[in-house]
Amino acid sequence: MAEPGEQLPEEVLALIFRHLPLRDRAAAARVCRTWAAAATCSTVWHNTNIREPSRLAAIELLTALAGRNPELRGLCLECRGEKRLFDSGRDVLDAVHALCRAARALRHLDLRRLPFTLDDALVLQVAHGCPELCSLFVDNSTLVGSVGPGSVLKLLEACPCLRALGLHLASLSRTALEALAAPDRAPFELLALRCACPEDARAPPLPNEAWAELSRRHPGLAVELELEPALPAESVTRVLQPAVPVAALRLSLSGDTVGPVRFAARHYAATLRALEVRAAASAELDAALEELAERCAGLREVHCFCVVRPSVLHAFRTHCPRLRSYTLKLTREPHPWRPTLVA
């Protein structure tokens, strides 16, 4: 009796399986030898997003990937279940460790949407197991930052092709900036920094001269800064250095927001492409936003989650010809606020 998959060539089955939901792909690999060969083909799992609501299903899929697909190139993990299901996350992280040990061709790993603490052991496993890594994002929304600067430095040494990196502020050091600016370093394109943990508030300052040297070495570098309420005013001034090539700035501070907006207007005019502000409405904030609009002609997005006066909207529409979308409400509206697209 013929096996279920023998009527179709393996490459055709692989093209079919790559469009199946993840659970169905894993199930297909258990049907017969022919389907197993096709389901474990690298084209099926080449770039995989896992958004399973079931913790056990996610672990099963990660384990299947680790055991069957050493050629996996990209993986994005997102936990969308109830928060109580993901308080620890040790079992999920163990499965990620196993995958990084097996998938030595992995080039892109995005863990920004995991709601639990990522640590040094994970970063070191990635450094040891994935020498071809091009991008790594561990700047997730956890309230504890457990990735230290030492493990990041080892990652940079082990992965010379790395060109995009997402970290909590406390994970970055002057030594890492200097390593990125080394003459033999491959072009570095994106550095995303999230400043949201108590560790970030206590992080030592990154000198402006180190940022200046990094920008000279990589003129195409874009930095994304996300400043959360845990960051006190004195820490904000340490983070916002003039030489940082900030392309995206997201401000959700418990203290002063006007000062950072004015600072961005005066120092990031050449690089700023996206601004997001969550703050209380005030005449001072409106004036700062108008100043930023006049100086930052390259802005493509601006999203302000408080009511602004009409002159703010007029300033951005007038002075920012590349603007593609904005959230600038003149009156209170029910949430969620939707952005306006510019034709």
Q: Taking the model in full, what pTM does it have?
A: 0.86
One-letter amino acid identity for 81?
G
Instruction: Provide the pLDDT for residue 304.
Output: 97
One-letter amino acid identity for 54?
S
| Strands laid side by side in the 74-78 sheet | 47-50, 74-78, 108-113, 135-137, 164-168, 190-195, 222-227, 246-251, 274-277, 301-304, 325-328, 340-341
Report CA-CA distances (Å) from 267 to 132, 188, 229, 259: 35, 21, 22, 12
- Which domains, and CATH codes, for the chain? 1-44 (1.20.1280), 245-342 (no CATH)
Q: Which residue has tokens 């209380």? A: 280
Pairing relation of β-strands 246-251 and 340-341? unpaired
Instruction: Provide the pLDDT for residue 300.
Output: 98
The tens place of each residue's pLDDT in the chain, 343 residues long, gives 345 445 677 778 777 777 777 667 767 777 787 777 776 666 666 666 666 566 677 777 777 777 766 678 888 888 776 554 444 578 888 888 888 888 888 999 999 988 888 999 999 999 999 999 999 999 998 877 789 999 999 999 999 999 999 999 999 999 999 999 999 999 999 999 999 888 898 899 999 999 999 999 999 999 999 999 988 888 898 899 999 999 999 999 988 999 999 999 999 999 999 999 999 999 999 999 999 999 999 999 999 999 999 999 999 999 999 999 999 999 999 989 999 999 8
Question: CA-CA distance, 253 to 235, in Å (whole number)?
Answer: 11
Instruction: Provide the pLDDT for residue 88.
Output: 58
Tell me how many degrees the CA angle 236-215-136 measures, rounded to the nearest 5. Answer: 75
Pairing relation of β-strands 274-277 and 108-113? unpaired
Question: CA-CA distance, 273 to 287, in Å (whole number)?
Answer: 19
One-letter amino acid identity for 276?
E
**Within 10 Å of residue 63's Cβ, how many Cβ atoms?**
16
